[in-house]
Amino acid sequence: MEAIVAALGGTAWTLVFFVIALSVIVFVHEYGHYIVGRWSGIHSEVFSVGFGPVLFSRTDKRGTRWQFAAIPFGGYVKFMGDADASSVRQGDVSGMSVEERRHTMAGAPLWARSATVAAGPVFNFILTFFLLVGLALFVGAPREEPTVGTMRAFPFEGPTLQQNDVILSVEGQATPDWETFRSVTEALKGNVALAYEVRRDDEVLTVNGPHPLAPVVGEVQIRSAAMDAGIVEGDIILKAGGQDVRYFDQLPEIVAASKGQPVALTVWRNGESFEVSLSPRIRTVDDGSGGFTERYLLGLYSGMFFEPAVRSVGPWEAVSGAGSSMWLMTTTTFSGLWHMIQGAISSCNLSGAIGMAETAGDAARNGAQSFIGMLAILSFGVGLLNLFPIPVLDGGHLVFHAYEAVTGRAPSDRALRVLMTIGLSLVLTIMLFGLSRDLLCQ
């Protein structure tokens, strides 16, 4: 993917990968509506990815027209008997038989309509789940024993650690697992180089190496000052704000002291040093106690001078990890929204279409793994948003169905028209507000 990204210009690749991400998510969402509707006996007349003029279409043996349209920012399924793609208002069905009406959305039983509507968000959640499981199975997890994977370029002279070395101790202190390794090396801050006892093949030997908490960039946050400045994974920060940097955790203090003013960095990469100036951006982060706080950040995450060796992940571990990640997404989303409503965090944490496009482009720039992770998060967000009880969204349709289940009758056409107008206005307002955040927030 990196080669594809490099071949495209900045704006071009942002648009291309945003369209790819959106098309996948929309297709899965609408396919959920389509397939559950089909299983429930509701006939789909049109399955469209995109809006506007049709570029390509094909009608299958069931009579559903599958099409790609010119405006690739959305999609829809039009069921038999619908007046439009919203599946709320019914068209002229006066000439239909009772059996034919059963295959329309309006004529189907309430359970079939509700299942069909709910299937769109549910399929988004299913996509997120399978993407997270797939990532876990593909990427793996660090081995229990601290083991060296790929070595990163580092300005260190002399023999040092090698790939597949198992670190038995650091400065004579045993390190049987990663938690102990981290606590031991944290206590040894102050030493630029450390003595590592390692098991290499069939022998045990002692070698020197850099401190693992050295200022190595382990990951660059998407849509950050660091990514815009061209900082990449594996870079080493030698100086920040004119100060020598020996450990990564010195960076947050230097950046915070800048109060948003540009911070000059001296960066070492593959044997060469260069200067770059970054303007920290204020971001809302978890304060560790269930709340949020705003900090000036460059968008850098710490790494080590080597990547940990990984092991294969079993199916159950991957499934449970994906479930935990989705639960964390849910709680974080609602907590963030609640704090935003209270005014505890800035509305600049919201993104509109431009922000989502930039996120897709930056994730693609970081590689396939980052792009797939972003796709999982975005699909989850689309599914969750569609469950909000707003007319024109799937959640609004389910509210109408709940009203029908309680009262025994569907809302009147006049009420539906008014509610749909209100819902559409609300959705457009939210979209415009998100767009304003993209344009006004840095």
Catalytic positions are: 30
CA angle 11, 15, 17 (to 5 degrees): 120
CB 233 within 8 A of CB 219: yes
**Contacts with 33 (C-beta within 8 Å, 6 or more apart), sequence order:** 77, 116, 117, 119, 120
Least Cα distance to 397 among 410, 383, 407, 384 occurs for 410
* Strand extents, DSSP E, 140-200: 141-142, 148-151, 166-170, 173-174, 193-200
User: For the chain, how far is it from start to end, CA to CA, in angstroms?
Assistant: 28
The alpha carbon of residue 103 and the mean position of all alpha carbons in its chain are separated, in whole angstroms, by 37
CB 69 within 8 A of CB 52: yes
- Residue 292 φ then ψ, to 5°: -135, 155
Q: Give me the residue label for tokens 């479930």.
A: 323
Kindly list the distances between the CA atom of residue 271 and the CA atoms of 152, 155, 203, in Å, as whole numbers in the listed order: 12, 7, 31
**Quick one: DSSP state of residue 272?**
E
**Contacts with 17 (C-beta within 8 Å, 6 or more apart), sequence order:** 5, 360, 361, 363, 364, 371
CB 212 within 8 A of CB 188: no
CB 235 within 8 A of CB 153: no
Write down the H helix ranges in 40-97.
none
The alpha carbon of residue 380 and the mean position of all alpha carbons in its chain are separated, in whole angstroms, by 8
**Contacts with 281 (C-beta within 8 Å, 6 or more apart), sequence order:** 224, 225, 296, 297, 299, 442
